[in-house]
Chains A and B, each alone.
Chain A
Amino acid sequence: AAGVIQSPRHLIKEKRETATLKCYPIPRHDTVYWYQQGPGQDPQFLISFYEKMQSDKGSIPDRFSAQQFSDYHSELNMSSLELGDSALYFCASSDQGASGNTIYFGEGSWLTVV
């Protein structure tokens, strides 16, 4: 079965640079979520989109922005990168119309800021 696809899988950037992560949700899923997981930490919710509109916002820094496009893929843009942004970034998707709204995660994008 198709899963959540994220790219790139690994990314190395320097401080103050910009990075863009992409996420392709499971087909026919209407909601996309972004999570950040620092080393040894639990995943922290950043932002979500339902039917291409922002539906919820968590602990996302102002330097970060995200959007969901007409084909339902989503991009997380991170600017003025800081060392503390080094983390594993997960995208997840779900079908909120389905019973229970199970959320499925992609394999993550490892961002290292040097």
Chain B
Amino acid sequence: AQSVSQHNHHVILSEAASLELGCNYSYGGTVNLFWYVQYPGQHLQLLLKYFSGDPLVKGIKGFEAEFIKSKFSFNLRKPSVQWSDTAEYFCAVNAGYNQGGKLIFGQGTELSVKP
């Protein structure tokens, strides 16, 4: 079965620090990869996605992620975080139509940015 693993449960950074959140997945076939952000008390918002092509994808709010197929990884990065980036971040895998197209989520990483 597919699974997604996020390495860090809680990350605390100061403003302007660089961010990298790890995500690894286990699935042998073709996958679509996503990062979602959930601000406190709010719904999941799509940050970025990877389907095919350039493995470095850019999303909203200055986030980017790199797909490394050999490592089954899709790490999220941001060069300089802001206090407003405080949120929970979920990596997710969509394993394709024969899996019903559903998303499998990682456990989430809570990011706290200190002003």
- CA distance in complex: A90, B43 (Å): 8
Q: Is the CB of B44 within 8 A of A90?
A: yes
Which residue on chain A has the smallest CB distance to residue B108?
Answer: A42
- Using A42-B106, A103-B94 as known contacts, say yes or no to A108 and B43 having CB atoms under 8 A apart: yes
Which residue on chain A has the smallest CB distance to residue B110?
Answer: A40
| Max count, chain A CB within 10 A of own CB: residue among B34, B96, B97 | B97
Q: Is the CB of A56 within 8 A of B100?
A: yes
Task: Using CB atoms and an 8 Å cutoff, list the residues of chain B in contact with chain A.
Answer: 32, 34, 36, 42-46, 49, 51, 90, 94, 96-97, 99-108
With a cutoff of 8 Å between Cβ atoms, the chain B residues found around residue A33 in the complex are: 101-103
Q: How many residues of A contact B (CB 8 A)?
A: 24
| Residues of chain A from 38 to 80 with CB closer than 8 A to chain B in the complex | 42-43, 45, 48, 50, 55-56, 58
Q: Is the CB of B46 within 8 A of A56?
A: no
Q: Is the CB of B100 within 8 A of A43?
A: no
Q: Is the CB of A100 within 8 A of B43?
A: no
Q: Is the CB of B102 within 8 A of A99?
A: no
With a cutoff of 8 Å between Cβ atoms, the chain A residues found around residue B45 in the complex are: 105
With a cutoff of 8 Å between Cβ atoms, the chain A residues found around residue B97 in the complex are: 96, 101
Which residue on chain A has the smallest CB distance to residue B9?
Answer: A40
**From residue A68, how far is it (CB to closest CB) to chain B in Å?**
13
- Using A42-B105, A42-B108, A107-B43 as known contacts, say yes or no to A101 and B100 having CB atoms under 8 A apart: no
Cross-chain contact of B42 among A45, A94, A107 (Cβ < 8 A): A107
Which residue on chain B has the smallest CB distance to residue A44?
Answer: B105
Residue A86 interfacial (CB < 8 Å): no
Q: Is the CB of B105 within 8 A of A43?
A: yes
**From residue B31, how far is it (CB to closest CB) to chain A in Å?**
11
Cross-chain contact of B104 among A31, A45, A94, A106 (Cβ < 8 A): A45
With a cutoff of 8 Å between Cβ atoms, the chain A residues found around residue B101 in the complex are: 31, 33, 48, 50, 55-56, 94, 96, 101, 103
